[in-house]
Amino acid sequence: MKEIFALVDCNNFYASCERAFNPRLEGRPIVVLSNNDGCVVARSNEAKALGIGMGVPAFEAEKVMEENNVEVFSSNYALYADMSSRVMKTLSSFTPDMEVYSIDEAFLNLAGFNCSLADYGGKICRTVKKWTGIPVTVGIGQTKTLSKIANRIAKKSGKADGVQDLTDAAFLNEILAKTAVEKIWTVGIKTTIKLKRAGIETALDLQKADINWIRQKFGVVGVRTVYELRGISCYPLEQNPPVKKSIAVSRSFGKPVESIEGLKESVASYCSRAGEKLRQQGLAAGLMTVYVTTSRFIKNRYFNSHAIEFPTATSDTMELIRGALFCIGKLYRSGFAFKKAGIVLNGLVSEKRIQGNLFDSVDREKSQRLMQAVDAVNTRLNCPLRWAAEGLNQPWKVKFNKRSYRYTTRWDELPPVA
């Protein structure tokens, strides 16, 4: 049976989440900033029209934002995550055959549907908007890559129903001829430069490229992309999210850290978060890498990392913290203004399959009970338990100066009705 993918993509997702709870924002330019209010990570259409680019530093866009009364928000991840799950739940009512691809995108398998796909897509858009307040766009194609292109066309053309079906379109090639290579999924900046140097400018050029040459220059990833453009599916729908291979927690500091104590506090708090993630997913880590760095944007950048192996894979926050503090001891150099630190956990195994160690000195059962108790308390409290090593004042902590209320996940932040 011919495969048919629909890519459902939320429009300007973070900006739309803000708007969903604040009708005053309808029709107004909105910008959402990254951690520390550093970069622009989402823009409403009105903000895009002002020429505010994706990923630009907030200070560079400050002038244009001020002059145009742009509504600026810090990231409100609790709100976006909750809105995302509402959208995904709505989508799952249209087909169980679905892959949640990112916080704001999902692939649906529409193979074998005996109705007009464009009509069905329109129904998806209307329902999601009605049930969640989030506008979405649907792109339909024979492969994931083509559904991505279809989605882009639907967004760009501003069609009222928000759907573009490219499955049997006689004009598919016409569309591909108008699609620049850099707009194709899996074609990034480096590949774009190489392709253009070889005279390949459009998706249609790439679709017709010699497969052996592609294999040689761009490896299997390039080959898959060419096949996908030809309508041969290389990326199947992944319904069960694969088990994670690494878990990372890192943050830029709200203000630079020069002391070893500051670095220790920050990585301790990242360990606390990483431990929660491990336990939520029923995993334990065998390896930990800790890194610290000064600003990426200065000369003489200092970056260094140190890795340790745990004698027995662990999900115990206290053990993670001990390891991380040891690493910081190896990494710290005085006289630097550190801008960021992070930890990465690898060698992840299922909690149930931890390889015992003869010389293990930790009471695993006791530590598990303690962690369960901490997690249970923290899911119920707005002010969570913290480990002493995380410090009290945390002057390095990320800044969120313009965060909206966490309307859907905190009782104390419900929107008031006047």
Contact between 220 and DNA per CB under 7 A: yes
Q: How many CB atoms lie within 10 A of CB 361?
A: 7
Could you tell me which of 86, 167, 78, 179 has the C-alpha nearest to residue 127?
A: 86
**Which residue in the set 55, 158, 335, 356 belongs to the binding site for DNA (CB under 7 A)?**
55
Round to whole Å and give the CA distance between 360 and 363: 8
Contact between 101 and DNA per CB under 7 A: yes
β-strands 71-74, 98-102: how paired? unpaired
SS3 of 179, please? coil
Contact between 221 and DNA per CB under 7 A: yes
Q: Which stretch binds DNA (CB under 7 A): 37-45, 130-138, 354-362, 386-394?
A: 37-45
Contact between 105 and DNA per CB under 7 A: yes
**Which residue in the set 22, 28, 39, 400 belongs to the binding site for DNA (CB under 7 A)?**
39
Q: How far is the CB of 217 from DNA (least distance, A)?
A: 10
Q: Which is nearer to DNA, 287 or 370 (CB)?
A: 287
Judged by CB under 7 A, the number of residues near DNA is: 47
β-strands 283-294, 136-141: how paired? unpaired
The phi and psi torsions of 39 (rounded to 5 degrees) equal -120, 160
Q: How far is the CB of 298 from DNA (least distance, A)?
A: 8
> Which residues are registered as beta bridge partners of 108?
6, 98
Which positions from 333 to 372 touch DNA by CB under 7 A, shown as an x/- string? ------xx-x------------------------------
Contact between 186 and DNA per CB under 7 A: yes
How buried is residue 69: exposed, middle or buried, by Cβ count under 10 Å (0-12/13-18/19+)? exposed
The phi and psi torsions of 211 (rounded to 5 degrees) equal -65, -30
Which residues have a Cβ under 8 Å from the Cβ of 150 and sit 6 or more positions away? 7, 139, 140, 141, 164, 165, 166
Which positions from 369 to 388 touch DNA by CB under 7 A, shown as an x/- string? --------------------
Q: How far is the CB of 119 from DNA (least distance, A)?
A: 26
Could you tell me which of 287, 277, 276 has the C-alpha nearest to residue 371?
A: 276
Which positions from 385 to 414 touch DNA by CB under 7 A, shown as an x/- string? -------------x----------------
**Which residue in the set 191, 233, 315, 317 belongs to the binding site for DNA (CB under 7 A)?**
191
**Which residue in the set 36, 90, 142, 404 belongs to the binding site for DNA (CB under 7 A)?**
36
Round to whole Å and give the CA distance between 46 and 26: 10
Q: DSSP labels for 115-146? A: S-HHHHHHHHHHHHHHHHS--EEEEEESSHHH
Q: Which stretch binds DNA (CB under 7 A): 121-129, 200-208, 215-223, 374-382?
A: 215-223
Q: Which is nearer to DNA, 220 or 376 (CB)?
A: 220
Round to whole Å and give the CA distance between 123 and 119: 6
Looking from the CA of 366 toward its CB, the CA atoms found within 13 Å total 4
**Which residue in the set 239, 246, 259, 382 belongs to the binding site for DNA (CB under 7 A)?**
246
Q: How many CB atoms lie within 10 A of CB 298?
A: 10
**Which residue in the set 249, 267, 321, 324 belongs to the binding site for DNA (CB under 7 A)?**
249
Contact between 266 and DNA per CB under 7 A: no
Q: In the window 116-155, what residues touch DNA (CB under 7 A)?
A: 148
Residues that bind DNA (CB under 7 A): 34-36, 38-39, 41, 55, 57, 59, 101-105, 148, 184-192, 219-221, 242, 244-252, 256, 277, 295-297, 307, 339-340, 342, 398
